[in-house]
């Protein structure tokens, strides 16, 4: 009897209310307030007998049969009423009556949950009906209502024979209060990837326990050893899910308020936010790459950077003077390392003020920019969003009616701060400390009037007239503020970065009656930073949430995480107008659709092996988020790198789209690759490999910009039916054709990797014998320090490349080459491969690809024991741009002995020099100006030769010597390209 009484006391149970410990929705997610009394008061179930061996299981959880009922059901529009009188919203009472609107989004589904008067992020292009129509799939989705006898729920179902549910909200937990909104769903599997920006240590989310992650833009670098799931610089509530069948889908939850998401063993998923509405976008795939293309039809396809933006970049925060930079540039050039871009961090500015440069230490900066240009190199400079309140740039802003983030009322203004500056006296501009010596205003880039963007553009134009920069790097745009709410901010004491900075007053956010800065539920984005008796707030390290944006129409509570995105939109325009070219734009803080305007680097990492590993996952995730130009600070930003770490990171960085070495002012080591002889050698080799293959990398970016898609992708994108690829954290692909296996641990000369089965693979690196066929499966691959990383070409693909030089400008002038990896088609007697290349001038601004001048080429190869045929088809022609000829073709897996005496080009005999290694099936043929790709009179080139031994007359045995016949056979074989393409998978 006592035991029974004890159990009843420990578990407050409604009838049939016990929920499996692996399928619960936490009713009190505040980690500091989880008592039985709180749980009972809310109307939830307290379970004191939860699994002690899995302390992540919620002790207080929602009972079943609670939630909303449907009051009105018009197709596409439901009205819901909260009817669970025994259950309270734990943090925002009362629960609101809400609408659920749903509609087809092409072959996907769009659902909005909320009320018409509530905040929605002003990304109106995302909701454009014409964009919805572009979500096209061979396998559509449908919206299905749940059981009519239970509280409201819905399913998103795949319209196929399996009718797979990709979302099923019958798990319960839907609540909707003014400042606490939650939705939960069962998932189709535990194969879930994405959601950010967080530092995920594994690519696939772990569903073996309950795990919560925060999402709210914050100036927060990699703190690998800090426990928790802290939020990073940007917000990306998007994921890709793999279903049991291997089909993929995607989900975007568009919301800009502070939010968090939970993965649970169900497998299930819980999403919480503290404002706005729930906008759910479901993308049907059914391949992962199609999911990303569909997603980008909604958020915008990625911007296309200038060609030089794919070259090697070098930076340091802490260059003491322009002379220090010049010495670094010369040192790296002397080491013969391919190198395109030199940066200047905030050191170049006059006391850290935007649109200035130090006329003493950096007096020759304008001339330095011209010197770089004379070497075919580029200059990228940094800008931060805040503008000091007492100099000319701020004066022009006031004169032009620029909107700044403001206090909501005059009574809340920190007058003792604003009155320090004539330009802010009697204004409501919210001022805060940042890098400059004095208080700064923060431009309101969500200004619905053109004033703010026009002023921002004008300032860049004005500065470009002085210093001819080529690219823009925007930092600290979460936005970051130093010392908010601190009585003694750290900048009072820090001398290295702030040398000479006055101890100006910090920004103080008011507390009484301020539910925006101090909401009832602070989300993990604040809770995880609590310490002792200190309760952290959302405004830590940033502006007050009570601040007004959008020219006083909206609150920072709603728009904070949009700040970096909105600055990117304005800055892309500034870059184009000031330079007149495409250039390169890189931002730290991002949001869905940021990739349409620029790229991203992964922020302030540390010089540690764990950070190298994290960078690989981050790069793959941001490709899923629609930002394919992404990379990490090579060798690490914070702390001193070491020779081996820097060497391996340079090798890895050479395969990331955004490739920059960067470290900070406190590092004792200037880690440019010329600092160590071994690193210089490894970097030279890695960069030459990269520059050789830039035509392929650029073509991948061009295709992503034109049609959508990833550039660097996880292996499961290409091989979903191979379950070994689902948990590969540190391998990745360039497009569909190349697999890279990096070294991620110290003191090794080989690396364990995996090549998917039922595929043909060839070594592209001297790490393994170049051109050799590699067996699929798990292997230990050699990884010397003086070769490129283990890199493998997938059979069935053709990669365009060029002989590399020391800059991308010089490399672009070299003749093209094709690297062909043959794959058996149906039987070993017929081998095929396909590929493509995009090419333009590499710098013209692209507003509309329909009006843009570019080339596109399709490549196909067919080889049998009788013939080998290579077809080059120019499918899109530029009327303006000359381009190099195609001079060399390398074929791997050519298992037939070529008779190049029979070679013809478009039926005309041609002389080729050749090198054939029969034991590897590696064939190289070349001739100067073999194919003039810009020949206005020819659009299709067919190169063919016979295979087999020569007879006594010098002809291929059994084939005859009729040249017309050879050409006809070549045309016939070329026609098999369509069949080959269908069988080996479309180029994407």
Name beta bridge partners: 73: 78
DSSP H helices, 57-128, are none
Burial 230-250 (b: 16+ CB within 10 A, else e): bbbbbbbbbbbbbbebbbbbb
DSSP 36: H
SS3 label, residue 202: coil
The CA distances from residue 799 to 33, 352, 737, 832, 906, in Å, are: 58, 45, 8, 13, 22
Looking only at Cα atoms, what is the longest distance across the chain? Answer: 105
Helices (H) and strands (E) in the chain — how many of each? 19, 52
**Separation between Cα atoms, residue 339 and residue 341, nearest integer Å:** 6
**Separation between Cα atoms, residue 14 and residue 3, nearest integer Å:** 19
Rounded (to 5) percent helix, strand, coil in the chain = 25, 25, 50
Cβ atoms of residues 684 and 338 within 8 Å: yes
Clarify whether 354 is annotated catalytic: no
Of the CA atoms within 13 Å of residue 449, those in its CB half-sphere come to 13
Burial 764-774 (b: 16+ CB within 10 A, else e): bbebbebbebb
Clarify whether 475 is annotated catalytic: yes
DSSP 596: G
Clarify whether 334 is annotated catalytic: no
Catalytic member of 604, 621, 633, 841: 604
Cβ atoms of residues 755 and 652 within 8 Å: no
* Token pair belonging to 412: 């809340």
Cβ atoms of residues 326 and 316 within 8 Å: no
Cβ atoms of residues 751 and 697 within 8 Å: no
Rama region for 426: left / alpha / beta (φ>0; ψ in -120 to 50; rest): left
Catalytic member of 168, 347, 384, 478: 478
**Separation between Cα atoms, residue 78 and residue 840, nearest integer Å:** 50
Q: Shortest CA distance to 523 belongs to which of 26, 29, 27, 24? A: 29
Q: Shortest CA distance to 298 belongs to which of 502, 147, 121, 459? A: 121
Structure-token match 């292997």, residue found: 779
SS3 label, residue 270: strand
**Separation between Cα atoms, residue 193 and residue 250, nearest integer Å:** 9
Q: What angle do CA 413, 417, 422 make, to 5 degrees?
A: 100
DSSP 619: H
Q: Shortest CA distance to 638 belongs to which of 318, 200, 328? A: 318
Q: Are strands 886-892 and 816-821 parallel, antiparallel or unpaired?
A: parallel
Read out DSSP for 510-573? --TT-TTTS-S---HHHHTT-BTTBPP-TTTTS--TT-EETTTTEEHHHHGGGHHHHHHHHHHH
Catalytic member of 219, 347, 475, 858: 475
Burial 414-431 (b: 16+ CB within 10 A, else e): beebbebbebbeebbbbb
CB atoms within 10 A of CB 334: 10
Name beta bridge partners: 142: 157
Q: Shortest CA distance to 944 belongs to which of 977, 967, 962, 922? A: 967
Read out DSSP for 799-858? EEEE---SSHHHHTTSPEEEEEE-EEESEEEEEEEEEEEEE--S-S--S-GGG---EEEE
Q: Shortest CA distance to 116 belongs to which of 64, 143, 146, 77? A: 77
* Token pair belonging to 94: 């009362």
Q: What are phi and psi of 864, to 5 degrees?
A: -130, 180
**Separation between Cα atoms, residue 526 and residue 92, nearest integer Å:** 17
Q: Which residues are the active-site residues?
A: 475, 478, 604
């Amino acid at each position: 009897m006592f035991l029974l009484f004890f159990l009843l006391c420990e578990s407050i149970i409604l009838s049939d209310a016990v929920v499996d410990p692996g399928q619960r929705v936490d009713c009190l997610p505040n980690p500091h307030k989880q008592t039985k009394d709180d749980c009972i008061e809310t109307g939830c179930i307290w379970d004191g007998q939860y699994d002690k061996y899995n302390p992540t299981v919620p002790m207080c959880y929602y009972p079943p049969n609670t939630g909303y009922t449907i009051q009105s059901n018009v197709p596409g529009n439901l009205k819901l009423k909260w009817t669970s009188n025994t259950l309270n919203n734990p943090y925002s009472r009362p629960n609101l009556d809400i609408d659920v609107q749903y509609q087809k989004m092409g072959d996907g589904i769009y659902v909005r949950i909320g009320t018409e008067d509530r905040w929605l992020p002003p990304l109106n292009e995302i909701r454009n009906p014409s964009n919805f129509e572009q979500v096209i799939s061979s396998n559509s989705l449908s919206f299905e209502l749940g059981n009519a006898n239970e509280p409201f729920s819905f399913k998103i179902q795949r319209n196929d024979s399996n009718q797979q549910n990709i979302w099923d909200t019958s798990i319960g937990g839907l609540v909707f209060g003014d400042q606490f909104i939650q939705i939960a769903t069962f998932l189709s599997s535990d194969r879930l990837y994405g959601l950010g920006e967080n530092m995920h240590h594994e690519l696939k989310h772990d569903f073996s326990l309950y795990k919560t992650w925060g999402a709210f833009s914050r100036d927060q670098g990699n703190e690998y050893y800090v426990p928790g799931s802290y939020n990073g610089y940007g917000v990306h509530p998007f994921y890709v899910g793999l279903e049991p069948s291997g089909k993929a889908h995607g989900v975007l939850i568009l919301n800009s308020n502070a939010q968090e998401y939970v993965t649970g063993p169900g497998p299930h998923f819980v999403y919480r936010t503290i404002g706005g509405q729930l906008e759910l976008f479901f993308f049907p795939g059914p391949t992962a790459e199609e999911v990303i293309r569909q997603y980008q039809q909604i958020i915008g396809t990625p911007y296309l950077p200038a060609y030089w933006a794919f070259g090697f970049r070098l930076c340091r925060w802490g260059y003491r003077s322009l002379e220090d930079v010049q010495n670094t540039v010369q040192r790296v050039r002397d080491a013969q390392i391919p190198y395109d871009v030199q940066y200047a961090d905030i050191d170049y500015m006059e006391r850290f003020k935007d649109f200035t440069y130090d006329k003493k230490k950096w007096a020759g900066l304008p001339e330095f920019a011209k010197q770089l240009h004379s070497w075919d190199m580029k200059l990228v400079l940094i800008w931060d969003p805040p503008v000091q309140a007492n100099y000319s740039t701020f004066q022009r802003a006031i004169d032009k009616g620029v909107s700044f983030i403001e206090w909501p009322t005059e009574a809340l203004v920190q007058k003792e701060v604003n009155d320090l500056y004539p330009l802010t006296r009697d204004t409501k501009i919210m001022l805060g400390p940042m890098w400059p010596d004095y208080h700064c205003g923060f431009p309101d880039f969500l200004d619905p009037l053109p004033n703010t963007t026009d002023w921002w553009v004008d300032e860049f134009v004005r500065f470009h007239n002085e210093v001819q920069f080529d690219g823009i790097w925007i930092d600290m745009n979460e936005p970051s503020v130093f010392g908010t709410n601190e009585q003694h901010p750290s900048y009072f004491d820090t001398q290295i970065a702030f040398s000479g900075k006055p101890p100006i007053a910090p920004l103080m956010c008011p507390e009484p009656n301020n539910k925006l800065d101090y909401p009832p539920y602070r989300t993990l984005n604040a809770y995880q930073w609590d310490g002792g008796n200190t309760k952290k707030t959302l405004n830590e390290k940033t502006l007050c949430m009570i601040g007004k944006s959008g020219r006083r129409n909206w609150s920072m509570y709603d728009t904070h995480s949009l700040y970096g995105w909105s600055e990117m939109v304005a800055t892309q325009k500034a870059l184009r107008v000031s330079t007149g070219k495409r250039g390169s734009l890189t931002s730290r803080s991002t949001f869905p659709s940021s990739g349409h305007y620029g790229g991203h680097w992964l922020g302030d990492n540390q010089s540690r092996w764990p950070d190298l590993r994290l960078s690989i996952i981050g790069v793959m995730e941001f490709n899923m988020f629609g930002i394919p130009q992404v990379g990490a600070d090579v060798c690490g930003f914070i702390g001193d790198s070491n020779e081996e770490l820097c060497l391996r990171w340079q090798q890895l960085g050479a395969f990331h789209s955004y490739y920059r070495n960067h470290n900070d002012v406190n590092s004792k080591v200037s880690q440019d690759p010329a600092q160590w002889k071994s690193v210089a050698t490894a970097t030279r080799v890695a960069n030459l490999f990269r520059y050789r293959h830039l035509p392929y990398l650029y073509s991948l970016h061009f295709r992503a910009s034109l049609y959508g898609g990833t550039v660097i992708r996880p292996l499961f994108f290409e091989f979903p039916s191979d379950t070994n690829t689902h948990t590969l954290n540190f391998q990745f692909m360039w497009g569909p054709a190349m697999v890279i296996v990096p070294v991620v641990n110290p003191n090794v000369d080989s690396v364990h990797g995996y090549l998917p089965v039922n595929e043909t693979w060839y070594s592209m690196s001297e790490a393994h014998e170049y051109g050799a066929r590699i067996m699929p499966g798990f292997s230990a691959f050699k990884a010397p320090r003086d070769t490129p990383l283990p890199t493998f070409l997938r059979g069935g693909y053709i990669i365009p490349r060029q002989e590399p030089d020391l800059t991308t400008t010089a490399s672009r002038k070299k003749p093209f080459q094709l690297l062909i990896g043959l794959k058996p088609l149906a039987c070993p007697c017929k081998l095929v491969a396909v590929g493509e290349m995009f090419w333009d001038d590499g710098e013209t601004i692209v507003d509309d690809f329909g009006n843009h001048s570019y080339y596109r080429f399709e490549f196909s190869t067919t080889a049998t024991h009788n013939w080998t045929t290579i077809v080059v088809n120019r499918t899109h022609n530029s009327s303006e741009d000359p381009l190099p000829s195609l001079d060399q073709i390398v074929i791997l897996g050519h298992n037939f002995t070529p008779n190049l005496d029979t070679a013809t080009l478009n039926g005309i005999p041609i002389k080729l020099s050749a090198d054939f290694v029969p034991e590897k099936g590696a064939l190289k043929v070349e001739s100067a100006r073999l194919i003039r790709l810009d020949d206005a009179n020819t659009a299709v080139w067919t190169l063919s030769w016979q295979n087999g031994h020569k007879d006594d007359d010098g002809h291929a045995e059994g084939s005859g010597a009729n040249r017309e016949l050879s050409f006809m056979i070549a045309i016939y074989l070329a026609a098999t390209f369509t069949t080959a393409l269908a069988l080996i998978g479309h180029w994407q």
